[in-house]
Homo-oligomer: A and B are copies of this chain.
Amino acid sequence: MSKGRLVIISGPSGSGKDTILKEALKALPEIKFSISSITRPMREGEVEGEKYNFISKEKFEEMIKNDMLLEYNNYIGNYYGTPKAPVEKVINEGGEIILEIDVNGQKNVKEKVDSALSIFIMPPSVEVLRTRLTGRGTDSAEFIEKRMKAALYEMERAKNYDYIVINDDLEQAVQDFVTIIKADRLNIQRQNNIIDEVLEKC
């Protein structure tokens, strides 16, 4: 059996990472997605257990106390975190699990799980990013500037990732993501057992 892999995907708002991930998971349905635990209220269109488990602040703080989180963050009074158990289960079974987290989360996870594979989704240029964020048409200029600033902060930290996918053409970006995952399955870190298996039979 090949070894499992924890995969991190990050990218600024407007990078298209949600769409890429959604399409890539169609091509790689065997990959698991890590459901984050969060304490903020559910928004319209969100479904419990899809991307998030909506839990109480008390329950979250109990998870912190019991070391049940791989990483967590507190953003404007709300907690966001990755529960440890489902990640460990998938990895131990030789599978892959994807964490959709930001650059701070990636840094925290990498410190604990050095073998984590991290992929950063990048817009083709800052202009394109601005156009994408403006194009939504619903946000104020001030809000867009805030998002642009946050995006630049994230993009400057892209160098800490293992792979960069430029989302210029969506189809190509999805294919690039899938290619990275498929190549990783051939990586020596995951194939070590297989060498033993081939040699054992002699």
Chain A residues proximal to chain B, CB less than 8 Å: 122-127, 152, 155-156, 158-159, 161-166, 176, 179-180, 182-184, 186-188, 191-192, 194-195, 198-199, 201-202
Per the bound structure, the CA–CA distance linking A162 and B127 in Å amounts to: 37
Chain B min CB distance to A199 (Å): 6
Known: A126-B198, A126-B201, A179-B179. 15 other contacts (CB 8 A): A123-B198, A124-B198, A126-B202, A127-B201, A155-B198, A155-B199, A156-B199, A158-B188, A162-B188, A163-B188, A164-B194, A165-B186, A176-B186, A179-B183, A180-B186
User: Dominant SS at the A interface?
Assistant: helix
Contacts of A165 in B (CB 8 A): 186
Contacts of A192 in B (CB 8 A): 159
Contacts of A155 in B (CB 8 A): 195, 198-199
Which of B123, B179, B191, B198 is within 8 Å of A186, CB to CB? B179
Would B166 and A126 count as touching, CB distance under 8 A? no
Chain B min CB distance to A36 (Å): 25
| Assembly stoichiometry (copies) | 2
Pairs across A and B, CB under 8 Å, 14 listed = A122-B198, A124-B198, A127-B201, A155-B198, A158-B195, A159-B188, A162-B188, A163-B186, A163-B188, A163-B191, A164-B195, A166-B198, A179-B182, A180-B186
Contacts of A182 in B (CB 8 A): 176, 179, 183
Chain B min CB distance to A5 (Å): 13
Contacts of A179 in B (CB 8 A): 179, 182-183, 186
Chain B min CB distance to A128 (Å): 9
Per the bound structure, the CA–CA distance linking A115 and B146 in Å amounts to: 39
Chain B min CB distance to A12 (Å): 11
